[in-house]
Amino acid sequence: MIQFKHTIAAIALLLGSFTAFAQGETSNWYFGKGAGLIFRGDTVTAVVNSRLQTEEGSATISDKAGNLLFYTNGITVWNKHHRVMPNGNGLMGMKSSTQSALIVPKPAADSVFYIFTTDIQAQSNGLRYSVVNINKDEGNGAVTARNVFLIAPATEKLTAIRHSNNRDWWVIAHRWNSNAYMAYLVTAEGVNVEPVMSNVGTVHGGAHRKAIGYLVPSPDGTRLAAALWDSDSNFEVLRFDRSTGEVSDPVLLKGYEEAYGVCFSPDGTKLYGTANGKGGGKAQIIQFDLQAGDEAAIAKSAVVVGTSGSPRIGAIQLGPDGKMYVARQDNIHLGVINNPNALGKESGYVDAGFHLGGRKSDLGLPNFPQGIQSGGGRSANVR
């Protein structure tokens, strides 16, 4: 059963938890075929200075004032001047991996960042991490360690959630041919290479396609949602324990061919997913009401809130402005969900919602950790 509580005390506690990383760290987005966005308050501007080319995954990080620090497609790392960092080539992600990269600040070390990477479709490079010290190269940053191995094979799913102590991180990935979620604890001492393993939910295996698709946290970090791409694929919602790193209580939402992107609404009461139909050509955005009731009621609440003129759509990402942005493959526009907390078509999807200044989107948008992204919100609790 889904139960939802919203009290002033709970909201105050939540907002207090995310204050340290809710200002400008997600202000700059670089993705797709040289595409980029800058968020300044309620204003969003397309930029064309990106050097990044990627079919799917990317990650960016800015400082608290919203100044770009660096960005990556999981293979190459560019600094704030859009130049390749020293030692910034040869990371073992793949530009055609769904979540090829994720940038996580090292706790208690303002100048050090980890870049976690995933290989394509459960191949041998697996899940790895590299290290960036932003103080190197006269403050422009350099990669000081590359491709530290964690596990293989792994899927293309990669996200992070703030620990309940609001200092450390859980970096979460998924084993291949397994139902095991892996949560790696990142502390001031470094990355713990022994993950918390949770065998729960769907087996991500078979004909490699289930390696594809996003894994995302709810705004408050208490839940995860996964898209499992296949000709007969699903979305899945699970509970996450921010204290222990354990994943539990799966809710399966069946039957969405080529499921790819997922995103929780800012208030945590809705789940959005993208699906494309077998072979593409039926690109839809589906909304689920997480307050509808039990698993069957949530599944029944599904409504198509938007369709796209693109053969395929991909990632859905919440912007600092409270709107959701939808990646359209090989298109000069992003789709935009203007009111993501609203029920059904009141959410206001616009297919040609944002013009990219002549650059093109592909299937991915930047991957951000929960707790670093602006606009922390509430969550319905999966029981």
Note the CATH architecture for domain 2-382.
6 Propeller (2.120)
pTM: 0.91
pLDDT per residue as tens, the chain (383 positions): 333 333 333 333 333 333 333 469 999 999 999 999 999 988 999 999 999 999 999 999 999 999 999 999 999 999 999 999 999 999 999 999 999 999 999 999 999 999 999 999 889 999 999 999 999 999 999 999 999 999 999 999 999 999 999 999 999 999 999 999 999 999 999 999 999 999 999 999 877 677 999 999 999 999 999 999 986 789 999 999 999 999 999 999 999 999 999 999 999 999 999 999 989 999 999 999 999 999 999 999 999 999 999 999 999 999 999 999 999 999 999 999 999 999 999 999 999 999 999 999 999 999 999 998 533 343 444 43
Residue 262 neighbours by CB distance under 10 Å: 25
Q: Where are the domains of the chain?
A: 2-382
Write 85-89 long-range contacts (CB < 8 A, 24+): 85/132, 85/137, 85/140, 85/141, 85/142, 85/143, 86/136, 86/137, 86/142, 86/143, 87/142, 87/143, 87/144, 87/146, 88/142, 88/143
